[in-house]
Structure 1
Protein backbone atom coordinates (compact mmCIF):
# COMPACT_ATOMS: atom_id res chain seq x y z
CA UNK A 1 0.00 0.00 0.00
CA UNK A 2 1.42 3.34 -0.98
CA UNK A 3 1.45 6.10 1.59
CA UNK A 4 0.74 9.63 0.48
CA UNK A 5 3.38 11.99 1.70
CA UNK A 6 2.97 15.76 1.70
CA UNK A 7 5.04 17.66 -0.81
CA UNK A 8 8.20 19.11 0.77
CA UNK A 9 6.93 22.58 -0.06
CA UNK A 10 3.65 21.84 1.73
CA UNK A 11 5.50 20.65 4.83
CA UNK A 12 7.49 23.87 4.82
CA UNK A 13 4.34 25.97 4.56
CA UNK A 14 2.73 24.08 7.46
CA UNK A 15 5.82 24.58 9.60
CA UNK A 16 5.87 28.26 8.71
CA UNK A 17 2.21 28.64 9.74
CA UNK A 18 2.86 26.84 13.01
CA UNK A 19 5.85 29.05 13.81
CA UNK A 20 3.80 32.12 12.91
CA UNK A 21 1.11 31.04 15.37
CA UNK A 22 3.75 30.46 18.06
CA UNK A 23 5.22 33.88 17.32
CA UNK A 24 1.83 35.58 17.60
CA UNK A 25 1.19 33.81 20.91
CA UNK A 26 4.55 35.06 22.22
CA UNK A 27 3.77 38.62 21.06
CA UNK A 28 0.34 38.54 22.70
CA UNK A 29 1.72 37.15 25.95
CA UNK A 30 4.64 39.57 25.96
CA UNK A 31 2.41 42.57 25.23
CA UNK A 32 0.03 41.60 28.03
CA UNK A 33 2.94 41.11 30.44
CA UNK A 34 4.33 44.53 29.53
CA UNK A 35 0.94 46.05 30.28
CA UNK A 36 0.35 44.36 33.64
CA UNK A 37 3.92 43.79 34.88
CA UNK A 38 4.32 47.29 36.38
CA UNK A 39 1.14 46.76 38.40
CA UNK A 40 2.45 43.39 39.64
CA UNK A 41 5.99 44.56 40.46
CA UNK A 42 4.97 48.01 41.73
CA UNK A 43 1.42 47.66 43.06
CA UNK A 44 -0.44 50.81 43.98
CA UNK A 45 0.50 52.27 47.35
CA UNK A 46 -2.65 54.40 47.42
CA UNK A 47 -5.00 54.04 50.42
CA UNK A 48 -7.86 51.56 50.41
CA UNK A 49 -11.03 52.56 48.58
CA UNK A 50 -12.90 53.24 51.81
CA UNK A 51 -10.25 55.55 53.33
CA UNK A 52 -11.66 59.03 54.09
CA UNK A 53 -11.22 61.63 51.35
CA UNK A 54 -9.80 65.11 51.51
CA UNK A 55 -9.39 67.55 48.59
CA UNK A 56 -6.11 66.65 46.91
CA UNK A 57 -6.08 63.21 48.55
CA UNK A 58 -8.57 61.37 46.37
CA UNK A 59 -6.64 58.57 44.65
CA UNK A 60 -7.47 55.13 45.99
CA UNK A 61 -6.55 51.54 45.13
CA UNK A 62 -8.93 49.97 42.63
CA UNK A 63 -9.46 46.22 42.66
CA UNK A 64 -12.92 45.41 41.25
CA UNK A 65 -12.77 41.87 42.65
CA UNK A 66 -12.23 43.20 46.19
CA UNK A 67 -14.90 45.87 46.47
CA UNK A 68 -16.12 46.32 50.05
CA UNK A 69 -19.72 45.45 50.84
CA UNK A 70 -21.86 48.55 51.44
CA UNK A 71 -25.29 48.35 53.01
CA UNK A 72 -28.02 50.82 52.07
CA UNK A 73 -30.33 51.96 54.87
CA UNK A 74 -33.94 50.78 54.37
CA UNK A 75 -35.90 53.13 52.18
CA UNK A 76 -32.86 54.73 50.55
CA UNK A 77 -33.12 52.90 47.22
CA UNK A 78 -35.78 50.85 45.41
CA UNK A 79 -33.85 47.54 45.47
CA UNK A 80 -31.59 46.54 48.40
CA UNK A 81 -27.86 46.43 47.71
CA UNK A 82 -26.53 42.87 47.48
CA UNK A 83 -23.13 41.93 48.87
CA UNK A 84 -21.98 40.26 45.62
CA UNK A 85 -21.48 42.52 42.61
CA UNK A 86 -22.83 40.78 39.48
CA UNK A 87 -20.29 40.03 36.75
CA UNK A 88 -22.53 41.80 34.23
CA UNK A 89 -25.30 44.34 34.58
CA UNK A 90 -28.37 43.13 36.44
CA UNK A 91 -31.63 44.85 35.47
CA UNK A 92 -34.20 45.09 38.26
CA UNK A 93 -37.48 47.01 37.76
CA UNK A 94 -39.18 48.80 40.64
CA UNK A 95 -41.46 51.69 41.49
CA UNK A 96 -39.94 54.66 43.31
CA UNK A 97 -41.69 57.87 44.20
CA UNK A 98 -44.60 56.62 42.14
CA UNK A 99 -42.50 56.39 38.98
CA UNK A 100 -41.19 53.55 36.83
CA UNK A 101 -37.67 52.81 38.05
CA UNK A 102 -34.81 50.58 36.95
CA UNK A 103 -31.71 49.62 38.92
CA UNK A 104 -28.53 48.79 37.01
CA UNK A 105 -26.16 46.79 39.21
CA UNK A 106 -22.87 45.08 38.40
CA UNK A 107 -19.95 45.17 35.99
CA UNK A 108 -20.66 46.62 32.53
CA UNK A 109 -19.81 43.62 30.36
CA UNK A 110 -19.39 43.72 26.57
CA UNK A 111 -22.83 43.29 25.03
CA UNK A 112 -24.71 44.77 28.00
CA UNK A 113 -25.93 47.71 25.92
CA UNK A 114 -27.65 45.31 23.54
CA UNK A 115 -28.98 43.27 26.48
CA UNK A 116 -30.52 46.40 27.99
CA UNK A 117 -32.08 47.33 24.67
CA UNK A 118 -33.63 43.87 24.40
CA UNK A 119 -34.80 44.03 28.02
CA UNK A 120 -36.54 47.38 27.51
CA UNK A 121 -38.17 46.37 24.24
CA UNK A 122 -41.92 46.35 24.85
CA UNK A 123 -41.60 47.68 28.40
CA UNK A 124 -42.48 51.10 29.78
CA UNK A 125 -39.34 53.23 29.71
CA UNK A 126 -38.05 53.98 33.22
CA UNK A 127 -38.14 57.54 34.50
CA UNK A 128 -35.54 56.87 37.20
CA UNK A 129 -32.38 54.75 36.92
CA UNK A 130 -30.33 53.87 40.00
CA UNK A 131 -26.68 52.96 39.35
CA UNK A 132 -24.34 50.69 41.32
CA UNK A 133 -21.41 49.56 39.20
CA UNK A 134 -17.61 49.20 39.36
CA UNK A 135 -17.40 50.01 35.63
CA UNK A 136 -16.36 47.86 32.70
CA UNK A 137 -16.86 48.23 28.94
CA UNK A 138 -16.53 51.89 27.93
CA UNK A 139 -18.31 51.37 24.61
CA UNK A 140 -21.30 49.73 26.27
CA UNK A 141 -21.42 52.46 28.94
CA UNK A 142 -21.60 55.14 26.23
CA UNK A 143 -24.31 53.26 24.33
CA UNK A 144 -26.35 52.71 27.50
CA UNK A 145 -25.91 56.37 28.37
CA UNK A 146 -27.28 57.49 25.03
CA UNK A 147 -30.27 55.18 25.49
CA UNK A 148 -30.96 56.65 28.94
CA UNK A 149 -30.78 60.20 27.57
CA UNK A 150 -33.11 59.28 24.70
CA UNK A 151 -35.60 57.99 27.30
CA UNK A 152 -35.15 61.24 29.27
CA UNK A 153 -34.46 59.20 32.39
CA UNK A 154 -33.01 60.60 35.61
CA UNK A 155 -29.94 58.91 37.10
CA UNK A 156 -29.45 58.50 40.84
CA UNK A 157 -27.18 56.94 43.43
CA UNK A 158 -27.91 56.12 47.06
CA UNK A 159 -25.26 56.51 49.76
CA UNK A 160 -24.37 52.82 49.43
CA UNK A 161 -23.85 52.90 45.65
CA UNK A 162 -20.59 53.09 43.72
CA UNK A 163 -20.10 54.34 40.17
CA UNK A 164 -16.49 53.84 39.09
CA UNK A 165 -14.41 53.63 35.92
CA UNK A 166 -16.85 53.63 32.95
CA UNK A 167 -19.98 53.91 35.12
CA UNK A 168 -19.86 57.74 35.43
CA UNK A 169 -20.63 57.92 31.70
CA UNK A 170 -24.00 56.30 32.46
CA UNK A 171 -24.51 58.67 35.37
CA UNK A 172 -23.81 61.59 33.01
CA UNK A 173 -26.73 60.57 30.78
CA UNK A 174 -29.50 61.48 33.21
CA UNK A 175 -31.57 64.56 32.38
CA UNK A 176 -31.29 65.13 36.14
CA UNK A 177 -28.55 63.54 38.20
CA UNK A 178 -28.45 63.01 41.95
CA UNK A 179 -25.63 61.47 44.01
CA UNK A 180 -26.32 60.94 47.71
CA UNK A 181 -23.69 61.84 50.28
CA UNK A 182 -21.52 58.77 50.87
CA UNK A 183 -21.83 57.41 47.32
CA UNK A 184 -18.56 56.87 45.43
CA UNK A 185 -18.02 58.26 41.93
CA UNK A 186 -14.57 57.74 40.45
CA UNK A 187 -12.64 57.86 37.17
CA UNK A 188 -9.35 56.55 35.80
CA UNK A 189 -7.60 55.56 32.57
CA UNK A 190 -9.30 53.13 30.17
CA UNK A 191 -7.96 50.61 27.69
CA UNK A 192 -10.84 51.13 25.20
CA UNK A 193 -10.54 47.46 24.20
CA UNK A 194 -7.50 48.07 22.02
CA UNK A 195 -5.87 45.11 20.34
CA UNK A 196 -2.65 44.48 22.28
CA UNK A 197 -1.12 42.76 19.21
CA UNK A 198 -1.19 46.03 17.26
CA UNK A 199 2.02 47.97 16.74
CA UNK A 200 2.55 50.64 19.38
CA UNK A 201 1.67 53.56 17.10
CA UNK A 202 -1.64 51.95 16.13
CA UNK A 203 -2.46 51.12 19.75
CA UNK A 204 -1.81 54.75 20.73
CA UNK A 205 -4.02 55.90 17.87
CA UNK A 206 -6.76 53.56 19.10
CA UNK A 207 -6.51 54.95 22.65
CA UNK A 208 -6.58 58.55 21.43
CA UNK A 209 -9.63 57.83 19.29
CA UNK A 210 -11.38 56.33 22.31
CA UNK A 211 -10.54 59.34 24.45
CA UNK A 212 -11.88 61.63 21.73
CA UNK A 213 -15.15 59.68 21.63
CA UNK A 214 -15.53 59.96 25.40
CA UNK A 215 -14.89 63.71 25.38
CA UNK A 216 -17.44 64.19 22.59
CA UNK A 217 -19.93 62.11 24.56
CA UNK A 218 -19.42 64.18 27.71
CA UNK A 219 -20.00 67.39 25.77
CA UNK A 220 -23.11 65.83 24.21
CA UNK A 221 -24.44 65.11 27.71
CA UNK A 222 -23.68 68.62 28.99
CA UNK A 223 -20.76 67.44 31.15
CA UNK A 224 -17.52 69.40 31.34
CA UNK A 225 -14.95 67.39 29.31
CA UNK A 226 -12.32 68.50 31.86
CA UNK A 227 -13.59 65.50 33.81
CA UNK A 228 -11.10 63.62 31.63
CA UNK A 229 -8.15 65.39 33.27
CA UNK A 230 -8.15 63.40 36.54
CA UNK A 231 -9.10 60.29 34.57
CA UNK A 232 -6.09 60.53 32.26
CA UNK A 233 -3.56 60.87 35.09
CA UNK A 234 -4.93 58.01 37.22
CA UNK A 235 -3.63 54.50 36.29
CA UNK A 236 -6.07 51.61 35.81
CA UNK A 237 -5.20 50.00 39.17
CA UNK A 238 -6.20 53.21 40.98
CA UNK A 239 -9.35 55.32 40.99
CA UNK A 240 -9.78 59.06 41.47
CA UNK A 241 -12.81 59.65 43.68
CA UNK A 242 -14.64 62.90 42.96
CA UNK A 243 -15.59 65.24 45.77
CA UNK A 244 -19.09 66.73 46.02
CA UNK A 245 -17.66 70.03 44.77
CA UNK A 246 -16.14 68.34 41.71
CA UNK A 247 -19.34 66.43 40.95
CA UNK A 248 -21.13 69.77 40.81
CA UNK A 249 -18.36 71.62 38.96
CA UNK A 250 -18.08 69.01 36.21
CA UNK A 251 -21.88 68.78 35.93
CA UNK A 252 -22.21 65.16 37.05
CA UNK A 253 -24.92 66.25 39.48
CA UNK A 254 -27.63 68.78 38.75
CA UNK A 255 -29.05 71.39 41.11
CA UNK A 256 -32.19 70.53 43.05
CA UNK A 257 -34.26 72.72 40.74
CA UNK A 258 -33.10 70.67 37.75
CA UNK A 259 -31.30 73.56 36.05
CA UNK A 260 -28.12 72.56 34.28
CA UNK A 261 -24.91 74.06 35.75
CA UNK A 262 -22.66 76.15 33.54
CA UNK A 263 -19.92 74.06 31.94
Structure 2
Protein backbone atom coordinates (compact mmCIF):
# COMPACT_ATOMS: atom_id res chain seq x y z
CA UNK A 1 0.00 0.00 0.00
CA UNK A 2 1.19 3.52 -0.79
CA UNK A 3 2.04 5.11 2.61
CA UNK A 4 1.77 8.55 1.00
CA UNK A 5 -2.03 8.15 0.71
CA UNK A 6 -4.06 10.18 3.21
CA UNK A 7 -5.28 8.17 6.18
CA UNK A 8 -8.90 8.73 5.13
CA UNK A 9 -8.24 7.14 1.72
CA UNK A 10 -6.51 4.16 3.30
CA UNK A 11 -9.44 3.74 5.70
CA UNK A 12 -11.95 3.84 2.85
CA UNK A 13 -9.92 1.24 0.93
CA UNK A 14 -9.87 -1.08 3.95
CA UNK A 15 -13.64 -0.68 4.44
CA UNK A 16 -14.36 -1.55 0.82
CA UNK A 17 -12.11 -4.61 0.99
CA UNK A 18 -13.83 -5.73 4.20
CA UNK A 19 -17.30 -5.46 2.60
CA UNK A 20 -16.14 -7.42 -0.44
CA UNK A 21 -14.66 -10.10 1.80
CA UNK A 22 -17.93 -10.47 3.72
CA UNK A 23 -19.92 -10.71 0.47
CA UNK A 24 -17.53 -13.35 -0.88
CA UNK A 25 -17.90 -15.34 2.32
CA UNK A 26 -21.69 -15.27 2.18
CA UNK A 27 -21.63 -16.24 -1.49
CA UNK A 28 -19.39 -19.21 -0.68
CA UNK A 29 -21.82 -20.22 2.08
CA UNK A 30 -24.77 -20.12 -0.35
CA UNK A 31 -22.86 -22.31 -2.82
CA UNK A 32 -22.06 -24.76 -0.03
CA UNK A 33 -25.74 -24.94 0.98
CA UNK A 34 -26.73 -25.67 -2.63
CA UNK A 35 -24.09 -28.39 -2.88
CA UNK A 36 -25.34 -30.02 0.31
CA UNK A 37 -28.92 -29.95 -0.99
CA UNK A 38 -28.00 -31.99 -4.10
CA UNK A 39 -25.85 -34.62 -2.38
CA UNK A 40 -27.75 -37.92 -2.61
CA UNK A 41 -29.21 -39.08 0.69
CA UNK A 42 -30.08 -42.69 1.48
CA UNK A 43 -33.70 -43.80 1.50
CA UNK A 44 -35.05 -41.26 -1.00
CA UNK A 45 -35.27 -38.40 1.51
CA UNK A 46 -35.96 -34.82 0.34
CA UNK A 47 -33.18 -33.45 -1.86
CA UNK A 48 -32.06 -36.90 -3.01
CA UNK A 49 -32.57 -38.68 -6.29
CA UNK A 50 -34.97 -41.02 -4.50
CA UNK A 51 -38.49 -42.00 -5.59
CA UNK A 52 -40.08 -38.78 -4.27
CA UNK A 53 -37.89 -36.46 -6.38
CA UNK A 54 -38.41 -35.72 -10.07
CA UNK A 55 -36.79 -33.36 -12.59
CA UNK A 56 -38.56 -30.00 -12.73
CA UNK A 57 -39.19 -28.14 -15.99
CA UNK A 58 -41.43 -25.11 -15.39
CA UNK A 59 -42.67 -24.68 -18.97
CA UNK A 60 -43.78 -28.30 -19.49
CA UNK A 61 -46.29 -30.59 -17.83
CA UNK A 62 -44.58 -33.80 -16.62
CA UNK A 63 -44.17 -36.51 -19.26
CA UNK A 64 -46.76 -39.25 -19.57
CA UNK A 65 -47.67 -42.13 -21.89
CA UNK A 66 -49.49 -39.79 -24.28
CA UNK A 67 -46.77 -37.11 -24.16
CA UNK A 68 -43.26 -38.60 -23.62
CA UNK A 69 -41.67 -35.14 -23.48
CA UNK A 70 -44.53 -33.59 -21.55
CA UNK A 71 -46.89 -30.98 -22.91
CA UNK A 72 -46.23 -27.23 -22.95
CA UNK A 73 -47.65 -25.18 -20.10
CA UNK A 74 -49.11 -21.72 -20.83
CA UNK A 75 -46.76 -18.89 -19.92
CA UNK A 76 -49.37 -17.47 -17.58
CA UNK A 77 -52.48 -18.76 -15.89
CA UNK A 78 -55.41 -19.65 -18.14
CA UNK A 79 -59.04 -19.93 -17.00
CA UNK A 80 -61.68 -22.45 -18.07
CA UNK A 81 -64.82 -24.01 -16.63
CA UNK A 82 -68.45 -23.13 -16.12
CA UNK A 83 -70.86 -22.97 -13.24
CA UNK A 84 -69.24 -22.86 -9.83
CA UNK A 85 -65.95 -24.45 -10.99
CA UNK A 86 -62.93 -22.60 -12.32
CA UNK A 87 -60.06 -24.57 -13.84
CA UNK A 88 -56.77 -22.68 -13.54
CA UNK A 89 -53.76 -23.98 -15.48
CA UNK A 90 -50.33 -22.83 -16.62
CA UNK A 91 -47.37 -21.02 -15.13
CA UNK A 92 -47.93 -18.28 -12.54
CA UNK A 93 -46.71 -15.03 -14.08
CA UNK A 94 -46.26 -11.66 -12.34
CA UNK A 95 -49.63 -9.92 -12.41
CA UNK A 96 -51.65 -13.14 -12.40
CA UNK A 97 -52.96 -12.43 -8.89
CA UNK A 98 -54.81 -9.39 -10.20
CA UNK A 99 -56.09 -11.38 -13.19
CA UNK A 100 -57.47 -14.14 -10.95
CA UNK A 101 -59.19 -11.58 -8.69
CA UNK A 102 -60.76 -9.93 -11.74
CA UNK A 103 -61.97 -13.28 -13.09
CA UNK A 104 -63.53 -14.21 -9.76
CA UNK A 105 -65.24 -10.83 -9.50
CA UNK A 106 -66.49 -11.01 -13.09
CA UNK A 107 -68.09 -14.41 -12.56
CA UNK A 108 -69.59 -13.37 -9.24
CA UNK A 109 -71.13 -10.26 -10.81
CA UNK A 110 -72.51 -12.46 -13.62
CA UNK A 111 -74.36 -14.56 -11.04
CA UNK A 112 -71.98 -17.54 -11.24
CA UNK A 113 -69.73 -17.25 -8.17
CA UNK A 114 -66.84 -19.71 -8.11
CA UNK A 115 -67.01 -22.31 -5.33
CA UNK A 116 -63.98 -24.44 -6.25
CA UNK A 117 -60.75 -23.77 -8.13
CA UNK A 118 -59.10 -26.79 -9.76
CA UNK A 119 -55.36 -26.29 -10.23
CA UNK A 120 -52.94 -27.64 -12.84
CA UNK A 121 -49.80 -25.54 -12.61
CA UNK A 122 -46.02 -25.87 -12.60
CA UNK A 123 -45.78 -22.77 -10.39
CA UNK A 124 -43.97 -19.49 -11.00
CA UNK A 125 -44.25 -16.16 -9.17
CA UNK A 126 -44.26 -16.87 -5.43
CA UNK A 127 -45.68 -13.48 -4.48
CA UNK A 128 -48.56 -13.81 -6.94
CA UNK A 129 -49.26 -17.33 -5.65
CA UNK A 130 -49.44 -16.03 -2.07
CA UNK A 131 -51.80 -13.24 -3.12
CA UNK A 132 -54.05 -15.66 -5.03
CA UNK A 133 -54.16 -18.00 -2.04
CA UNK A 134 -55.25 -15.15 0.22
CA UNK A 135 -57.89 -14.09 -2.32
CA UNK A 136 -59.37 -17.58 -2.40
CA UNK A 137 -59.52 -17.79 1.38
CA UNK A 138 -61.20 -14.39 1.67
CA UNK A 139 -63.83 -15.51 -0.82
CA UNK A 140 -64.23 -18.89 0.97
CA UNK A 141 -63.42 -20.87 -2.17
CA UNK A 142 -62.29 -24.52 -2.16
CA UNK A 143 -59.29 -25.86 -4.09
CA UNK A 144 -58.53 -29.18 -5.76
CA UNK A 145 -55.94 -31.05 -7.82
CA UNK A 146 -57.68 -33.52 -10.13
CA UNK A 147 -56.50 -36.83 -11.58
CA UNK A 148 -53.59 -36.21 -13.94
CA UNK A 149 -53.18 -32.61 -12.72
CA UNK A 150 -50.19 -31.16 -10.89
CA UNK A 151 -49.57 -28.35 -8.42
CA UNK A 152 -45.81 -27.69 -8.23
CA UNK A 153 -43.40 -25.09 -6.89
CA UNK A 154 -45.39 -21.96 -5.89
CA UNK A 155 -48.76 -23.50 -6.82
CA UNK A 156 -49.23 -25.16 -3.39
CA UNK A 157 -49.44 -21.68 -1.87
CA UNK A 158 -52.53 -21.08 -4.03
CA UNK A 159 -53.86 -24.51 -3.10
CA UNK A 160 -53.37 -23.71 0.60
CA UNK A 161 -55.88 -20.87 0.30
CA UNK A 162 -58.78 -23.23 -0.24
CA UNK A 163 -61.23 -23.71 2.62
CA UNK A 164 -61.69 -27.37 1.63
CA UNK A 165 -58.64 -28.85 -0.10
CA UNK A 166 -58.51 -32.15 -1.99
CA UNK A 167 -55.90 -33.93 -4.10
CA UNK A 168 -57.19 -36.83 -6.22
CA UNK A 169 -55.32 -40.14 -6.12
CA UNK A 170 -53.88 -39.36 -9.55
CA UNK A 171 -53.03 -35.74 -8.72
CA UNK A 172 -49.58 -34.60 -7.65
CA UNK A 173 -48.48 -31.78 -5.37
CA UNK A 174 -44.77 -30.92 -5.15
CA UNK A 175 -42.42 -28.39 -3.55
CA UNK A 176 -38.83 -27.17 -3.87
CA UNK A 177 -36.57 -24.17 -3.25
CA UNK A 178 -37.65 -20.82 -4.67
CA UNK A 179 -36.02 -17.75 -6.13
CA UNK A 180 -37.39 -14.58 -4.51
CA UNK A 181 -35.08 -11.91 -5.98
CA UNK A 182 -35.63 -10.23 -9.31
CA UNK A 183 -32.03 -9.08 -9.78
CA UNK A 184 -29.31 -11.74 -9.96
CA UNK A 185 -26.59 -9.06 -9.73
CA UNK A 186 -27.44 -8.07 -6.15
CA UNK A 187 -24.60 -8.32 -3.62
CA UNK A 188 -24.64 -11.60 -1.71
CA UNK A 189 -25.79 -10.09 1.60
CA UNK A 190 -28.76 -8.45 -0.13
CA UNK A 191 -29.65 -11.75 -1.82
CA UNK A 192 -29.63 -13.48 1.58
CA UNK A 193 -31.92 -10.80 3.00
CA UNK A 194 -34.31 -11.22 0.06
CA UNK A 195 -34.44 -15.01 0.52
CA UNK A 196 -35.02 -14.73 4.27
CA UNK A 197 -37.76 -12.15 3.79
CA UNK A 198 -39.43 -14.31 1.15
CA UNK A 199 -39.29 -17.43 3.32
CA UNK A 200 -40.80 -15.47 6.21
CA UNK A 201 -43.70 -14.40 3.95
CA UNK A 202 -44.28 -18.01 2.90
CA UNK A 203 -44.17 -19.25 6.50
CA UNK A 204 -46.65 -16.58 7.61
CA UNK A 205 -48.94 -17.53 4.72
CA UNK A 206 -48.88 -21.23 5.60
CA UNK A 207 -49.67 -20.49 9.25
CA UNK A 208 -52.55 -18.18 8.29
CA UNK A 209 -53.98 -20.87 6.01
CA UNK A 210 -53.74 -23.57 8.69
CA UNK A 211 -50.90 -25.45 6.95
CA UNK A 212 -48.00 -26.89 8.95
CA UNK A 213 -44.98 -24.66 8.14
CA UNK A 214 -42.83 -27.82 8.42
CA UNK A 215 -43.75 -28.13 4.73
CA UNK A 216 -40.80 -25.81 4.14
CA UNK A 217 -38.35 -28.53 5.23
CA UNK A 218 -38.65 -30.74 2.12
CA UNK A 219 -39.04 -27.59 0.01
CA UNK A 220 -35.77 -26.05 1.22
CA UNK A 221 -33.90 -29.34 0.79
CA UNK A 222 -34.90 -29.81 -2.84
CA UNK A 223 -32.95 -27.82 -5.49
CA UNK A 224 -34.88 -25.59 -7.92
CA UNK A 225 -34.15 -27.98 -10.80
CA UNK A 226 -36.01 -30.80 -9.06
CA UNK A 227 -39.42 -31.21 -7.44
CA UNK A 228 -40.30 -33.18 -4.29
CA UNK A 229 -43.60 -35.00 -4.71
CA UNK A 230 -45.55 -35.21 -1.47
CA UNK A 231 -47.12 -38.60 -0.77
CA UNK A 232 -50.61 -39.11 0.69
CA UNK A 233 -49.34 -39.36 4.25
CA UNK A 234 -47.41 -36.09 3.93
CA UNK A 235 -50.42 -34.30 2.44
CA UNK A 236 -52.33 -35.23 5.58
CA UNK A 237 -49.48 -34.61 8.06
CA UNK A 238 -48.79 -31.12 6.69
CA UNK A 239 -52.57 -30.43 6.76
CA UNK A 240 -52.51 -29.60 3.07
CA UNK A 241 -55.64 -31.64 2.43
CA UNK A 242 -58.79 -31.40 4.49
CA UNK A 243 -59.99 -34.83 3.34
CA UNK A 244 -57.97 -37.78 2.04
CA UNK A 245 -60.12 -38.83 -0.92
TM-score range, shorter chain: 0.7 to 0.9
Q: Secondary structure at the match of 2:81?
A: strand
Q: Which residue of 2 aligns with 1:18?
A: none
Q: Aligned Cα RMSD in Å? A: 2.7
- The secondary structure found in structure 2 opposite 1:64 is coil
TM-score w.r.t. length of structure 1: 0.68
Q: Distance in 1 between matches of 2:65 and 2:209?
A: 30
In structure 2, the partner of 1:110 is 94
| Aligned equivalent of 2:181 | 193
Correspondence 1:157 to 2:145: yes
Aligned to 1:220: 208
- Measure how far apart 1:70 and its partner are: 5.5
Matched residue SS, 2:92: coil
Of 55, 68, 71, the match for 1:61: 55
Unaligned 5+ runs, structure 2: 1-26, 41-49
CA distance in 1, matches of 2:178, 2:93: 14
Counterpart residue number, 2:105: 121
1:68-110, Cα deviation, whole Å (9 max, x unpaired) = 35699xxxxxxxxx95421100011323xxxx11111000001
Deviation at 1:135, TM superposition (A): 0.3
Q: Larger % of helix: which?
A: 2
Query: Which of 88, 91, 95 is the aligned partner of 2:79?
Result: 91
Taking the aligned partners of 1:256 and 1:209, their CA distance within structure 2 comes to: 33
2:164 equivalent to 1:170: no
* Larger relative contact order, structure 1 or 2 (CA cutoff 8 Å, min sep 6): 2
Secondary structure of 1:107's partner? Answer: strand
| Structure 1 residue 66: Cα displacement | 4.1
**CA distance, structure 1, for counterparts of residue 175 and residue 155 of structure 2:** 9
Q: CA deviation at 1:196?
A: 1.6
CA contact (8 A) 1:70 1:161 kept: no
> Contact 2:120/2:151 (CA < 8 Å) preserved in 1?
yes
1:134 corresponds, among 122, 125, 133, to 122
CA distance in 2, matches of 1:242, 1:231: 10
Is the 1:60–1:240 Cα contact (8 Å) retained in structure 2? Answer: yes
Q: Deviations over 1:203-224 (max 9, x none)?
A: 1011000000000000000000
CA distance in 2 between counterparts of 1:217 and 1:71 reads: 36
Secondary structure at the aligned position of 2:228 is classed as: strand
The match for 1:15 is: none
- Structure 1 residue 188 displacement after superposition: 0.3
Deviations 1:180-209 (A, max 9, x none): 012111000001134222110011011000
Q: For this pair of structures, how many residues does the alignment match?
A: 197
Residue from 180, 191, 214 that aligns with 2:168 = 180
